[in-house]
Amino acid sequence: MKSLKGIVSKVLRISEKRIDDSTSPAKVKTWDSLRGLLLITELENNYKIKFTIKEILSIKNVGDIKKILKKHNAAMED
């Protein structure tokens, strides 16, 4: 299982050092709608969960992703 930062880093093509709870599309040029969908897909595959449409639309930053993963009882490494 990859870490959350590892997945975000891979999909958005940024250093893990740049990733914290406030990391958002407004702060990362590569976080566009297509990469957002790719991120959701990678997270679902890695953590073996399914996001609801409401959850997807509620994601504004990495902190929101962590909250959703916790809600699904996904085991996160970071």
Domains defined along the chain, listed by start: 4-71 (1.10.1200.10)
Distance separating alpha carbons of residues 78 and 76, to the nearest angstrom: 6
Q: 58 near 52, Cβ under 8 Å?
A: no
Give ∠ CA 6-65-18 in degrees, rounded to 5. Answer: 45
pTM of the model: 0.92
- pLDDT for 37 equals 97
> What's residue 1's pLDDT?
64
**What confidence tens digit (pLDDT) does each residue in 4-48 have?**
999 999 999 999 999 999 999 999 999 999 999 999 999 999 999
